[in-house]
Amino acid sequence: SEAKVASTEKEEESEDWWQNAQAALGMTQKDEEPEQAKLEEEQPVEEEKTIKEEETPAEEEEIVATSEALEEEEEKQVEQKEEEEVKAEESEEAPAEEQQEERPPPEAPGMEDANLIVRVDIEPKRQKVSKGAKAIENLMSRPDREVLEAMAQEGWEVEVVDESKGLYMLSLPPVLYEVMGTSVSIPAPRFLTKLRDSRGRTSKFKERLEGDLVLQNGEGIFTLQLGFPFRTKLCISAAGWTRAKVGSEGDEILSSNFVEVGIQLPKVPGLTNIMEYFVKNYGTQSTQECTDALARAAARLPETPLQSIEDTMKEFLKPLTDPEGKEKKLVESRPGRPPT
C-alpha cells in the first residue's frame, strides 16, 4: 500500500510537472505572439516610412517643376499683355493716314470709254540736296501749297480752287515726243489736283505730301503723226490720273508716281506699243523733273525767317544801291578810292 501511495504521488507529481511545463510553454507562446505581432506591425510602418522618405524628393521635384512652369506661364502672360499695351499705344499715336489702307483711285472722266489701259508704277526718283537734311526739313515744314509750288517747273501754272480742301488746278507745258518714227504731241494738260498731308506715313520712304492729279482736258489730247508706211495724222482722246508722293530720306528728296491712262485707240498696227512707250517714258521723266525741282527749291530756301527778310531787302534795295550793276567794280584789291 505504501508503494501504491508512493507511485500515485509520483504520477501526480509528473502530471503536475507536465501541466506546469505546458502552462509555462503556453505563457511563453502567448508572450511571444504579441511581440511578434508588434514586430510585424512595426515593420510595415518602417517600410511605409522608408517608402515615404523615398517618394518625398520626387514629389518635391514635381512640385518645384510645376511652380516654375506656372511662374513662366505668368511671366509670358505679363509680357504678352505689355506687348499688346505697347501696340495699342502705338496704334493710337499713329496718324490716321497710316492706319488706313491705300486709298481707292479717283474718278477720271472718260476712263470707261477707253479700250487700252496703261498703268505705270514709277519707282521713287532721288535727288540730293546740296545743303543737306536741314534744308529738306525746312522745305517740308512749309504748307502744302508752297511744297506744290516748289515742285512746279518753268511753264507750270498753279491755280487755287479751294485751298481749305486741298484743291488746285495744275497746268503743265505742252509736250512733243518722237517715238519709233512717230511724233506724239499734247497741248498743255490740265490736272485737278487734290493734296493730302501725309507726314508720319512711311511707304518706300518718309512721306510729306500725297496728291491725286486727274486729267481734265483729255478729249482729242493726243496728236500722232505717223511716218510709216505712209504719213497719217491721228487725234486720240484719253482719260487718266496719277497719284504722286513726295518725301525725303536723309539728304535726298524722293518722289514716286502711279499712273493710269485710258486711251481710245484706233485699230492701227503698232499703235499700242507706241502709246505704252510714250506713257511710261513721259511719266518717268516728269517724276524725275519734279524731284529735281524740289531739290533746287530746298537749296534756295532761306534757313531762318530773318535770313528770308534779309534776302528780300537785298533784292529790293539792289536797284537803288547798284543801279548799273557796277558794285563789284568799285572794290579794288588795293586800298584807296578807285579812279573815276
pLDDT tens string, the chain, 340 residues long: the values are 555 545 555 555 555 655 665 665 555 454 445 555 555 555 554 555 554 455 455 556 666 666 676 677 777 777 777 777 766 665 554 444 444 467 899 999 999 999 999 999 999 999 999 999 999 999 999 999 999 999 887 778 999 999 999 999 999 999 998 887 889 999 999 999 999 999 888 778 899 999 999 999 999 999 998 876 667 889 999 999 999 999 999 999 999 999 999 999 998 888 899 999 999 999 999 999 999 999 999 999 886 555 556 556 666 666 666 555 544 444 444 444 444 4
- Compute the 3-state secondary structure of the chain and give helix, strand, coil in percent, each to the nearest 5: 50, 25, 25
Question: Which grid cell sits at 73?
Answer: 506661364
Residue 117 has a pLDDT of 96
Residue 335 has a pLDDT of 43
Residue 32: exposure state from Cβ atoms within 10 A (0-12, 13-18, ≥19): exposed
The span from the CA of 213 to the CA of 194, in Å, is 7
Residue 137 has a pLDDT of 93
Residue 80 has a pLDDT of 78
- Cβ(173)–Cβ(204) below 8 Å: no
Q: Return the number of other C-beta atoms located less than 10 Å from residue 222's C-beta.
A: 21
User: Which residues, listed in sequence order, are joined to residue 48 by a DSSP beta bridge?
Assistant: none
- Cβ(115)–Cβ(264) below 8 Å: yes
User: Which residues, listed in sequence order, are joined to residue 243 by a DSSP beta bridge?
Assistant: 212, 258
State the DSSP H helix or E strand holding residue 212, giving kind and residue range, or none if neither: strand 206-215
Residue 284 has a pLDDT of 95
The span from the CA of 182 to the CA of 272, in Å, is 12
Q: List CB contacts of 172: < 8 A, sequence separation 6 or more.
A: 155, 156, 188, 189, 190, 191, 286
State the DSSP H helix or E strand holding residue 336, giving kind and residue range, or none if neither: none
- Give the pTM: 0.61
- Cβ(170)–Cβ(176) below 8 Å: no
Specify the DSSP class assigned to residue 201: -
The span from the CA of 282 to the CA of 278, in Å, is 6
